[in-house]
Amino acid sequence: MILAQSWLEIRLALRNGEQLVLTVVIPALLLVLFGSIRVPALGSGGIDFLVPGVMTVAVLSTAFTGQGIATGFDRRSGVLKRLSASPLSKSGLIVAKTLAVACIEVMQLLLISLIGRLMGWSPSGGIGSAIVLLALGTASFSGLGLLMAGTLRAEATLAVANLLFLLLLAGGGIFVPLTKFPAGVRPLLSLLPTAALSDGLRQSFGTSHQFPLAAAVILLGWALVSIICAAVTFRWE
């Protein structure tokens, strides 16, 4: 049932042109834009810094913003109410939706990696640790998106998801290094899932070849808390 629902979610996402622009085209355009110009606020500003950040944007936009908004409107239109009559449980739906966004992210990440390589990105290794971090990041953002969509009205989900997306872009360590922020707020910002994922990916693709354990622990904590809370509070209607 979970695999069948995942396949259905993938097909619906691929048919939604607006959602594909948000989840696939925009992250790729961000990489091309910021990789082609020099912006002092980006700190190091190199392509090695930008690619992990854009990968984080891809996961955030797909698993959190796109999925949260789509699920919220599915709940309002009664789609989820019909699903409640099937044997699929709330937990099963959450797992199915998370697997679906993971499949879409593979497409995004391959495109971003290709564009990055064409622009001079040369990762030193750490593919295995990057996959672990991306999986944990997907689970974290998916849980947060479904927690929001399962408790708020569709219109509120739309507003909150877009607001949080912009706030995380600005202060989540994606494009601006945490060292550029005041020292007093850095420890708090480093606990955000976007900061953990982007910095962890930079460590994974860097020359140290050390597994970013701290980033993985932060993402695991977000994943467990968000998914459990989403499963407990999710409402079909």
Per-domain residue ranges of the chain = 2-233
- Is a pLDDT exceeding 70 seen at residue 52? yes
For residues 80-98, give the mean pLDDT.
82
- How confident is the prediction for the chain on average, in pLDDT? 85
For residues 147-157, give the mean pLDDT.
88
What's the rounded Cα separation, in Å, for the pair 85 and 73?
Answer: 18
- pLDDT reported for residue 43: 47
Q: Is the pTM of this model over 0.75?
A: yes
For residues 57-77, give the mean pLDDT.
86
For residues 100-105, give the mean pLDDT.
88
For residues 193-199, give the mean pLDDT.
93
For residues 158-187, give the mean pLDDT.
87
36 vs 105, more confident: 105
